[in-house]
Structure 1
Amino acid sequence: MRRQDGTISRAQLRQHGIAPHDLERLLRRRELVRILPGAFVDHTGRPTWSQRAWAGIHHFRPAALAGRSALRAALGPTWRHHDDTALIEIVVPAGVRRRPDPGYDVHRSRRYDDLVLAPASPPRVRVEHAALLVASTLGDLDAIQMLADVCQSRRTTATRVVEAAGTLVGLPRREWLTQVLGDIAGGTCSVLEHGYLHRVERPHSLPQGTRQRPVHGGRRDVEYREVGQVVELDGRLFHNTAAQRDADLERDLVAAVDRENAVRLGWGQVFDRPCHTAGRVGSLLTRRGWVGTLIGCSEACEAPGLWKS
C-alpha cells in the first residue's frame, strides 16, 4: 500500500490472506474506504490525484495510465500541462471490456504490451509515446511547448521521442513533430525560421529578408538590409544556462553597435499570432523606409488593419 500511495485492490487483499469477512470488518472500521469497485484507500478524506489514478488501475485492471495522465505520473505534480480535475486517462488491452466509470476516460489498445511500462509505479504508457500521442492532438504552439517541457524534464530526450515516433503507426503530423523534436535536440531555430517564412513573411507580402548572414558574434536570422531591420527568431523555449543568455545579449549588443533595429520573436508570435506579427513587422519596416504594401493572407486577416493603425 505504501508503494501504491495508500491504495490496494480487492485481488491484492485476497492474495495477502484477507478474506471477504475481514475486508467487510476493515470497511466498517473505516480502516479502508472504497474508491471504486474493487479499489480501496487507507483514509476517509478526499483521495489525491495519485490515489484516484491508482484506483482506476485497480478497477480496470489490467490497465495503465495513458495520455496526459501518464505524463502527469511520470513528470510529477508540478508539470504545468496537466489539470488534476480532468478525467484520468486509462488504457487497457484491446480484448478487455470494462464498464465505464465517471472520472475516467478508458481506451483500448492492440499495442498495450508495447506501449506500457508495466513495472512503473503506477503502470503507465511510456513517456515518449504518451508525449507524441498527446502532442499530435494539440495546436502547433501547444504541441511545441509540451514536447519541449517533456524533453527538458530529464525523463527522456528529444532523440528518444523521435525514435518512438517511428514505432507509432498512423501517428498524425509525424513529419512536423519530428521536425520540432529535431529543433529541440539540436538547439537550432529551423522550425521557427520555416514558420516565420511561411506564416508571417510570404503570406503577407513582406519583403524577403536575408537569412543567416554571418556577423560578429553569430548570424542574423532574418535581415531586411535595405531598411536596416533585423528579426531574431528565438527557437529556444528556455534559457537554462548563463551562456545562452550571454549569447542573446551579445547579439543584441552587436545589433546596437551596427545601428540596426533588432526585434526578437518567439514561437507564440510566429505560430499563434502570425497575422498580428506581420502587421507589426510591416509597421517597423515602413518606419525604416519600406515602400511596399502589406497584404492580408485571407479575408479575416488582421495584419493590414493593424499595420494601417
Structure 2
Amino acid sequence: MSQTWEPAVRATQARQHGVVSRRQVLAAGARDVDVERLLRRRTWARALPGVYVDHTGPLSWEQRAWAATLLHDPAALAGASSLRAFGIRTGAAEERAPIDLVVAHARRVDDPPGVRTRRLRDFDAQVQSHLSPPRQRLEPAVLTVASSARDDDRAVAVLADACQLGRTTPDRLSAALASMTRLPRRRLLVDVVADVAAGTMSPLERRYLRDVERAHALPPAQRQVRAVAGGAIVYRDVVVGDHGVLIELDGRLGHELAADRWRDLERDLESLASGAVTLRAGWRQVLEPCRLARVVASVLAARGWTGSLRACPRCRNDDRGGSSAPGAEDPPLSVR
C-alpha cells in the first residue's frame, strides 16, 4: 500500500537523478523506520551518510554530484564539477573524478572519500542555488579551473571553449576576474582573457598572436571573421584585410581527413579568386615563430605592406646560435 509521502519523495528523486536526502524524506512526512525498511528491501541504497539512491548498483557522475551536494547542503558544485554540470567540455570533471564543492566560509564539514570541499567567503555571490544541482557560477568556475591548468595552452583552451560555446563572454570573465584578487596565476588569466577577447579561440591561435604577430610587429589582424565560402558560413582565423592575406591556423586534429583537405583547398581557391591569398600553418610552423613571421612578412610586403619586421628575443638568440633560414629539407608552409 502506497504511503502518503511516497509521491513527493519520488518526484524529488526524479529531479535529482534518483538521489534523495534523509532531510528531504522526513520533510515529505516519512519516518526513519520507513527509510530503514526501504534500505532493508534494497529498494534504496546509501550513497553517502544520510543520502540515498534508488538502486544498488554503481552511481553515475550525476548521482555522485547530487549525493555530495545533499550531504553538505547548502553546498554547490565547484570548479571542474561545476563545468561538467554546465555542459562545458574542456576542463570539466571526468567520470570518476572526486566531486568538488564549495560551502560558506563559516562552515566546517568532513568530506567522505570522493568529495573535496573548500570554503568561500562570497559563497552567496558565487553560487547559483536555484540550479539542479546547485553550482558555482560559470565565470568563477571557469577561471578557477583555468588558474590550475597544467600549462598556458590548457588555460587558453578552458576559457576559449566556454566562450566558443556561447556560455560566457570575455567581458563577463574579465568582470569576474576583477573580484578574484587571490586567484593563482591571475596575471596570466588577465592576459589570456584579453587574447580571447581579441578573437583567439584555441591555444594555437593564441601562440600565433603572441609569438608571431605581436612579437614581430606584424600588422594587427582581425580574428574569427565571418565569411561565405561554397555557399556555407565559415570563420577565417586571421585576416589582414588591408593586404588581402588570410591565415588559417589548423591544429593536427580535425584537419587530416581527405574531406577536410578538399574543403580547405576549395576555400583557398575561392579566396584567391576574390583577390586574397591564404597561408596555412599548423603547430609545426607556429612553434617556429620567427621563421613563420618572416614568411608572413614577405607575403604582406609583396602585397603592399611597407612596415618593418621586428626582431624578437628569440630571433636574436637564433642569430647568435646560427641561421634559422629555411633549407632544402624544410617542409613548405602548407605542410602540417
Does the 8 Å CA contact 2:143/2:177 hold for their aligned counterparts? yes
Q: Which of residues 98, 102, 107 is equivalent to 1:96?
A: 107
1:81 aligns with 2:91: yes
What residue in structure 1 maps to residue 36 of structure 2? 24
Task: Give aligned-pair identity as a percent.
Answer: 36
Does the 8 Å CA contact 1:94/1:109 hold for their aligned counterparts? yes
Show structure 1 runs of 5+ residues with no match.
Answer: 224-229, 239-244
What is the alpha-carbon distance in structure 2 between the residues aligned to residue 42 and residue 283 of structure 1?
64
1:90 to partner: Cα distance:
1.0
What residue in structure 2 maps to residue 227 of structure 1? none
Show structure 2 runs of 5+ residues with no match.
Answer: 1-12, 228-237, 255-262, 300-310, 331-336
1:16 to partner: Cα distance:
1.2
Does the 8 Å CA contact 2:90/2:157 hold for their aligned counterparts? no
What is the alpha-carbon distance in structure 2 between the residues aligned to residue 234 and residue 144 of structure 1?
15
What residue in structure 2 maps to residue 232 of structure 1? 247
What residue in structure 2 maps to residue 242 of structure 1? none
1:280 to partner: Cα distance:
6.2
* 1:205-244 superposed matches below 5 A: 208=216, 210-212=218-220, 220=240, 232=247, 234=249
What residue in structure 1 maps to residue 160 of structure 2? 148
What residue in structure 1 maps to residue 178 of structure 2? 166
Total equivalences in the alignment: 271
Q: Which of residues 281, 284, 308 is equivalent to 1:264?
A: 281
Does the 8 Å CA contact 2:174/2:193 hold for their aligned counterparts? yes
Does the 8 Å CA contact 2:100/2:115 hold for their aligned counterparts? yes
User: CA offsets, 1:44-80, max 9 Å, x none?
Assistant: 121110000011111122211000000101116xx25
Q: Which amino acid aligns with 1:50?
A: E
Q: Which amino acid aligns with 1:84?
A: E
* 1:244-283 superposed matches below 5 A: 249=267, 253-254=271-272, 262-265=279-282, 276-278=287-289, 281=292
What residue in structure 2 maps to residue 120 of structure 1? 131
Q: Which has the higher contact order (CA 8 A, sep 6+)?
A: 1
What is the alpha-carbon distance in structure 2 between the residues aligned to residue 159 and residue 102 of structure 1?
37
Give the 3 Å change call, closer, same or farther, for CA 188–17 of structure 1 in structure 2.
closer
Does the 8 Å CA contact 1:136/1:172 hold for their aligned counterparts? yes
What residue in structure 1 maps to residue 148 of structure 2? 137
Give the 3 Å change call, closer, same or farther, for CA 192–24 of structure 1 in structure 2.
closer
What residue in structure 1 maps to residue 259 of structure 2? none
What is the alpha-carbon distance in structure 2 between the residues aligned to residue 231 and residue 209 of structure 1?
17
Q: Which amino acid aligns with 1:168?
A: M
Q: Which amino acid aligns with 1:264?
A: A
TM-score, structure 1 normalization: 0.69
